[in-house]
């Protein structure tokens, strides 16, 4: 076979071996690649239709690389690594880079989207309906004389009918030259017997079928402006939905070339006057003359702000006290959790490791149960158990009356809530420590402890000087990992208390008694009103640095443990 | 090698064909995409489908979203051009926040001049922010002063007639519930924000000064003995059994009152069992106000350059705000119509009539400042009520100051 020949040829040349290819292998490969290509092809079609050219080019390149990797001969490592690398890029590298970038922007609810979106938003609202102005029922169509788009208008005030065209004054159509529609002018009028009717068509006018207009044609109608007063071009009749037209006064004009807005009217709150020019400022708003101290338009966009978010973290006085509290509690929480779960887990592991104990397997299985249940389920059960009035802990374990006024307010006041969080986390975490300590214990040779006993060591000495150091060699890295995990243990805090209770003094940041850094960051990013993704991302970077440093130092120090061996 | 060539060929073909799809043909039927939470979808589904059938030029897709996160989803989707056309069942106090995030489209030009008169006082106004209307009202909610008729035969006119332990009010131990307490606060002329001359809310906190201090002191003097303890799960039963005479609540608890609950199975009937009253006057005779909450339909901006669905979306919004639709939503789902004519027809229902007649309402502010206020405001309030502040007026003044700082930071 050809493949075989090629292999032998390669051998002669002493290049890397190429493995023989089976027919079914090729079929599988082609089928899988075919599916991948079909999906990418579909994606590209969708993206191109949405005019997202950059994304489609990236998709094409990625697809080409994938095809190249799997279709060429050789390069076996790439074939194994490609899927993993791809997912790594999508789910880790991209996320990291994006949140890293976000930390240096003002991305948040007041700076949502890019400048084009802000311009669009400002343009959309750059008019006001004239107080007491006339409005009209609209039929869209074309003027038979010149084939240009025109609107047939029926006044809501005096039922007169007009023909209106872009840039011209409206022309009244005399009675008899138009026909009224059979339907009510108000499409959903309750009383159809007495309702007003609007003109449906007129002589010299061809109504259009609105649903068959293309977006391009529609935009022509939407941008159409009928002149009311030739001396005031900012006043006009305009329709936004081809059903109703109103008298409209433009309040801002936009220069497509410079991308500046100019005020056409004084602001009713006196913030700016007609003629003021709004220019983009570096804070992501349109300010008068582009100066931040001046008034700005409401719509903002995302801009890079350098180190400002980090500056806020370190200098904002409103933030300082709560942040300090949260940081201290985060460390207390992480250390206490690791310490308590490790001690309890180890104690139980030693207990159940005793060779004379019967039914060890049963006990061990039972001990693992809290770990086996999904954490979020246990957390919700605990919320119920810790209920102040009716919870099992208060009414049964502590013998307090149901509905008691003075029951312990687990989860409702800061002190008890912190104990409750630690308690529940101990319940959830000790089986893990129990498991790993049990495993590690069984790997310590029995001769060692026996030798210690023969040498006259007490059980405590044998534990402290022989077993403990040997245990720590294998377990210390896991303790560090556990610390890092609990430092960011969002789930347990959020499910138990949502970071609350939130009853300490007054600050303008939403921070509660059991908030750890990561839940605090979550609140900054997502909860309530002032979403601030930029600030939250800056926080995440700091958290990463803290955890990274701590882990690095700890791992360095565990090396000294390894020297014992 | 051969396979490699084929692959390049396939990819090139893919590229070529994808460029062909750019020119999309005109669509005869436009699809209006509506985002709504589950409760809203259950309520409006039948009417939306009816409109879908009646209007041959349009179809509607209802997409279910989580109520608490739909705003975040919208803020992400719109800049990418993936937003819906309408956000249905939106609370009106979201408007300011969403406008600031560039995701809503003004609809002033599409509204008939006299459209405002179609709705109960303030309902359309609630959809207005910075001088523009962004949606139409659907249904309204307000609280009233419910009275157990068996325990208290006649309506009371002054809060001074209420003794300790007679009133029920739902609030949390940590963030209170300024919405339910607002009538008490306005008994002291301490509105949450100041209003401008045109009757629109401003961003200046209005509950400071001597009025706020008087309210804070009054709350402390009354305390939990008067308002009851926080997070009390037994208010419903106590009200049904007559252990408390009054309950500050809204229409959402009427079903429970009429059908009873576990532990207190006998419900009360309106008129003979309970009555929906206006709030009594304050200690100094000031008539209190309640917040009017409006759930409505907001017009979503569809990203730069895309305006094709505005016509259909406006038509659907006008349909949902029409008398017939709103009466039907009342008839089937007990939603209090925002449409005046529909409300008048619905007033045959004593519950709707009760809440409508009890209403001395102001629309809840719809600015981002309001969003920022709830937690800060409620925290101070609940601490004062639970006796955790020795100087309530100072604590209140501090809260007002912190709130104003927080609001100024929003801009």
Touching check for B225 and chain A: CB below 8 Å?
A: no
Q: Quick check: B1 pLDDT over 70?
A: no
Q: State the nearest Cα–Cα gap between B188 and chain A, in angstroms.
A: 23
Tens-place pLDDT, residues A167-220:
888 899 988 888 888 888 888 887 778 788 888 888 889 998 877 787 788 888
Tens-place pLDDT, residues B188-240:
999 999 988 877 888 899 999 999 999 999 999 999 999 998 888 789 999 99
**β-pairing verdict for A260-263 and A149-155:** unpaired
Helix A308-315 with A533-562: angle, nearest 10 deg: 80
Question: Whats the size of chain A, residue-wise?
Answer: 565
Tens-place pLDDT, residues B47-82:
999 999 998 888 999 999 998 889 888 988 888 888
Cβ distance B382 to A503 less than 8 Å, yes or no, reads yes
The answer to whether residues B141 and B250 touch, using CB atoms and an 8 Å cutoff, is: yes
Touching check for B130 and chain A: CB below 8 Å?
A: yes
Q: By three-state DSSP, how is residue B21 classified? A: coil
The answer to whether residues B84 and B73 touch, using CB atoms and an 8 Å cutoff, is: no
pLDDT for B15? 47
pLDDT for A210? 77
Q: Which helix (H) or strand (E) holds A238?
A: strand A232-239
Half-sphere exposure for B271 (CA within 13 Å, toward CB)? 4
Tens-place pLDDT, residues B329-367:
998 888 899 999 999 999 889 999 999 888 888 889 988
Decide if the complex's ipTM is over 0.85. Answer: no
Res. A446 pLDDT band, cuts 50 70 90:
confident
The answer to whether residues A229 and A235 touch, using CB atoms and an 8 Å cutoff, is: yes
Res. A321 pLDDT band, cuts 50 70 90:
confident
Query: Residue B59: which residues within 8 A CB-CB, separation 6 or more?
Result: B29, B30, B31, B32, B52
Mutate to test the interface with B, among A108, A140, A256, A529 (most CBs of B within 10 A): A529
Instruction: Locate B404 and state its tokens.
Output: 């104003």
Provide DSSP, A258-290. TTEEEESS--TTSS--TT-EEEE-TTSSEEETT
Instruction: Residue B376: count other Cβ atoms within 10 Å of its Cβ.
Output: 25
pTM of the model: 0.80
Touching check for B111 and chain A: CB below 8 Å?
A: yes
The residues in A 218-247 lying below 8 A from B, measured between CB atoms, are 218-219, 222, 238-246
The answer to whether residues A187 and A138 touch, using CB atoms and an 8 Å cutoff, is: no
The answer to whether residues A128 and A320 touch, using CB atoms and an 8 Å cutoff, is: no
> How far is Cα A438 from Cα A348, in angstroms, rounded to an integer?
9
Nearest CB among B109, B319, B403 relative to A188 is that of: B319
As a whole number, the mean pLDDT across chain A is: 85
> How far is Cα B336 from Cα B343, in angstroms, rounded to an integer?
7
Query: Residue B327: which residues within 8 A CB-CB, separation 6 or more?
Result: B337, B339, B342, B345, B346
Pick from A246-255, B113-122, B270-279: least confident = B113-122
Provide DSSP, B76-103. HHGGGT---SEEEEEEGGGHHHHHHTT-
pLDDT for A2? 43
């Amino acid at each position: 076979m050809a493949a075989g020949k090629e292999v032998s040829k390669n051998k002669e040349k002493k290049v890397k071996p190429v493995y023989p290819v089976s027919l079914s292998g090729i079929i599988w490969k082609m089928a899988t690649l075919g599916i991948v290509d079909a999906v990418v092809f579909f994606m590209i079609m969708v993206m191109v239709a949405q005019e997202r050219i950059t994304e489609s080019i990236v998709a094409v390149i990625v697809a080409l690389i994938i095809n190249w990797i799997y279709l060429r001969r050789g390069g076996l490592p790439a074939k194994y690594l490609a899927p993993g690398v791809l997912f790594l890029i999508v789910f880790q590298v991209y996320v990291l880079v994006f949140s890293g970038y976000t930390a240096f922007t003002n991305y948040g609810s007041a700076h949502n989207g890019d400048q084009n979106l802000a311009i669009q938003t400002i343009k959309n609202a750059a008019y006001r309906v004239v107080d007491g102005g006339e409005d009209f029922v609209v039929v869209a169509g074309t003027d038979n004389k010149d084939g240009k788009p025109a609107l047939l208008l029926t006044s809501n005030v005096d039922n007169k009918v007009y023909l209106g065209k872009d840039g011209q004054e409206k022309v009244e159509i005399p009675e008899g030259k138009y026909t009224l529609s059979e339907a009510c002018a108000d499409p959903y009028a309750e009383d159809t017997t007495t309702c007003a009717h609007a003109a449906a068509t007129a002589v010299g006018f061809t109504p259009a079928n609105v649903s068959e207009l293309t977006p391009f044609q529609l935009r022509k109608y939407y941008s159409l402006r009928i002149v009311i007063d030739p001396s005031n071009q900012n006043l006009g009749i305009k329709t936004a939905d081809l059903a109703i037209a109103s008298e409209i006064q433009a309040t801002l004009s936009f220069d497509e070339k410079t991308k500046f807005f100019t005020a056409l009217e004084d602001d009713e709150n006196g913030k700016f006057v007609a003629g003021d020019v709004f220019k983009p400022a570096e804070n992501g708003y349109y300010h008068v003359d582009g100066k931040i101290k001046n008034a700005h338009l409401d719509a903002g966009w995302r801009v890079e702000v350098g180190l400002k978010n980090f500056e806020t973290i370190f200098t904002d006085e409103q933030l300082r006290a709560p942040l300090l509290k949260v940081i201290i509690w985060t460390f207390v929480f992480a250390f206490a959790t690791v310490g308590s779960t490790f001690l309890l887990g180890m104690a139980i592991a030693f207990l159940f490791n005793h060779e004379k104990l019967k039914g060890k397997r049963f006990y061990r299985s039972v001990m693992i149960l809290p770990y086996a249940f999904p954490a979020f389920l246990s957390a919700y059960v605990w919320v119920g158990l810790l209920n102040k009035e009716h919870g099992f802990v208060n009414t049964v374990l502590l013998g307090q009356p149901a509905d008691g006024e003075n029951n312990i307010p687990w989860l409702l006041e800061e002190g008890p809530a912190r104990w409750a969080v630690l308690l529940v986390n101990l319940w959830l975490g000790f089986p893990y420590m129990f498991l790993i300590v049990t495993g590690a214990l069984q790997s310590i040779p029995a001769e060692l402890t026996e030798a210690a006993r023969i040498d006259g060591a007490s059980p405590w000495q044998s534990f402290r000087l022989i077993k403990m150091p040997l245990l720590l060699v294998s377990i210390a890295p896991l303790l560090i990992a556990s610390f890092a995990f609990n430092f960011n243990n969002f789930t347990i805090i959020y499910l138990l208390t949502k970071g609350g209770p939130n009853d300490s003094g007054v600050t303008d940041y939403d921070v509660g008694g059991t908030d750890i850094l990561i839940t605090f960051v979550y609140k900054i990013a997502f909860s309530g009103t002032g979403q601030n993704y930029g600030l939250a991302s800056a926080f995440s970077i700091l958290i990463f640095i803290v955890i990274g440093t701590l882990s690095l130092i700890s791992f360095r120090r565990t090396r000294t443990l390894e020297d014992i061996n | 090698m051969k396979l490699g060539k084929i692959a390049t060929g396939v990819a090139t073909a893919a590229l070529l064909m994808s460029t062909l799809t750019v020119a999309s043909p005109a669509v005869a039927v436009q699809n209006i995409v509506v985002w709504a939470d589950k409760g809203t979808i259950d309520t409006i589904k039948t009417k939306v489908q009816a409109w879908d059938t009646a209007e041959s030029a349009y179809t509607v897709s209802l997409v279910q979203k989580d109520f608490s996160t739909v705003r975040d989803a919208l803020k992400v989707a719109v800049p990418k051009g993936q937003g819906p056309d309408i956000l249905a069942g939106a609370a009106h106090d979201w408007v300011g926040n969403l406008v600031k995030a560039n995701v809503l489209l003004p609809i002033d030009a599409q509204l008939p001049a006299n459209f405002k008169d179609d709705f109960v006082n303030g309902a359309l106004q609630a959809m207005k922010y910075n001088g523009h209307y962004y949606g139409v009202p659907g249904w309204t909610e307000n609280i009233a002063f419910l009275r157990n008729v068996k325990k208290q035969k006649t309506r009371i006119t002054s809060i001074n007639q209420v003794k300790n332990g007679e009133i029920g009010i739902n609030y949390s131990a940590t963030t209170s519930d300024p919405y339910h307490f607002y009538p008490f606060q306005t008994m002291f002329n301490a509105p949450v924000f100041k209003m401008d001359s045109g009757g629109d809310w401003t961003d200046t906190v209005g509950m400071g000064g001597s009025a706020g201090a008087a309210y804070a002191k009054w709350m402390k003097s009354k305390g939990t003995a008067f308002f009851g303890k926080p997070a009390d799960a037994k208010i419903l039963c106590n009200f049904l059994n007559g252990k408390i005479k009054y309950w500050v609540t809204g229409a959402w608890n009427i079903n429970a009152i009429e059908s009873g609950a576990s532990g207190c199975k006998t419900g009360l009937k309106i008129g003979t069992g309970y009555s929906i009253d206006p709030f009594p006057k304050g200690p100094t005779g000031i008539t209190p106000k309640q917040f009017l909450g409006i759930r409505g339909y907001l017009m979503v901006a569809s990203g730069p350059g895309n305006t094709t669905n505005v016509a259909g979306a406006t038509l659907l919004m006008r349909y949902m705000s029409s008398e017939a639709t709103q009466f039907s939503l009342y008839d089937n789902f007990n939603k209090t119509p925002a449409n005046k004519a529909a409300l008048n027809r619905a007033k045959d229902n004593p519950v709707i009539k009760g809440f409508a007649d009890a209403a001395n309402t102001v629309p809840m502010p719809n600015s981002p400042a309001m969003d920022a206020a709830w937690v800060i405001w409620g925290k101070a309030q609940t601490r004062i009520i639970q006796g955790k502040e020795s100087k309530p007026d100072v604590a209140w003044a501090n809260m007002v100051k912190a709130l104003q700082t927080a609001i100024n930071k929003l801009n």
